[in-house]
Amino acid sequence: MNHKHFYLIFFLFTAFVLAQTPDIIPLSKKVGLTVDAEENVYYRIFNDIDGFFSAQFYEVGKNKIVVQIVFVDFSQKSVRRRSMSLEEFIDLKHHVDVQPVITDNDRESIRENLTYLTTISIIESIPDDQYIIIEHRTGKKVRGSVLGIEDRLISLQTPISVETIPIWDMASLTYRKEIRELPKIKGFLYAVSALGGVILAEVWNEQTRPRIDLIWHFRFIGTVLGTLFGAETYQAVNIISSPKTFFALTPEEMDKLKN
Number of residues written out for the chain: 259
Burial 170-205 (b: 16+ CB within 10 A, else e): bbebbbbeeeeeeeeebeebbeebbebbbebbeebb
User: pLDDT > 90: what percent of the chain?
Assistant: 10
pLDDT of 72-82, one tens digit each?
665 456 788 88
Lowest mean pLDDT among 139-153, 164-178, 219-233: 219-233
Quick one: 67 exposed, middle or buried, by C-beta within 10 A (0-12, 13-18, 19+)? buried
What pLDDT shows up at residue 64? 87
Check whether 13 has a pLDDT greater than 50.
Answer: no
Which pTM was predicted?
0.44
Identify whether the C-beta of residue 49 lies closer than 8 Å to the C-beta of residue 114. Answer: no
Check whether 176 has a pLDDT greater than 80.
Answer: no
What pLDDT shows up at residue 99? 92
CA angle 100, 103, 107 (to 5 degrees): 115
C-alpha 215: how far from its chain's center? Answer: 51
- Cα separation of 54 and 73, whole Å? 13
pLDDT of 187-203, one tens digit each?
777 777 777 777 887 78
pLDDT of 45-94, one tens digit each?
988 887 788 899 998 877 888 999 888 665 456 788 889 888 999 999 99
What pLDDT shows up at residue 230? 67
